[in-house]
Homo-oligomer: A and B are copies of this chain.
Amino acid sequence: MDDGMSGFCIKSRIGGGGGGCGGRDSGTPSTDQIQKISSQLSFYGKIESKNVFYWFQNHKARERQKRRRVSSVAHEQHDQIHQDDKVSSAKHFVDVNQVSEPERVIETLQLFPLNTFNASESAKRRLFTNECKETDQMDHPPLDLRLSFL
Interface flags for A47-80 (1: CB within 8 Å of B; 0: not) read 0111011000000000000000001110000000
Neighbour of A48 across the interface among B35, B42, B89, B93, CB < 8 A: B93
**Which residues in B have their C-beta under 8 angstroms from that of A100?**
none
Q: When the two chains form the complex, which single residue of B42, B133, B135 contacts A73, counting CB atoms closer than 8 Å?
A: B42
How many residues belonging to A are interface residues under a CB distance threshold of 8 Å?
A: 35
Q: Is A114 interfacial (CB 8 A cutoff)?
A: no
Q: Which of A2-10, A26-34, A102-110 contacts B (4 or more CB under 8 A)?
A: A26-34
Judged by a CB distance under 8 angstroms, whether A91 is at the interface is yes
Instruction: Provide the bound-state CA to CA distance between A133 and B94, in Å.
Output: 12
How many copies of the polypeptide does the oligomer hold? 2
A140 B90 Cβ-Cβ under 8 A: yes
Q: Does A13 reach chain B (CB closer than 8 Å)?
A: no
Please give the distance in Å from A51's CB to the nearest CB on chain B.
8
Verify B140–A50 contact, CB threshold 8 A: no
A35 touches B72 (CB 8 A): yes
> In the complex, which of the residues B18, B34, B53, B93 contacts A38, with contact meaning CB atoms closer than 8 Å?
B93
User: 9 A-B residue contacts at CB 8 Å?
Assistant: A32-B88, A35-B72, A35-B73, A38-B72, A42-B73, A48-B72, A49-B94, A50-B95, A91-B135
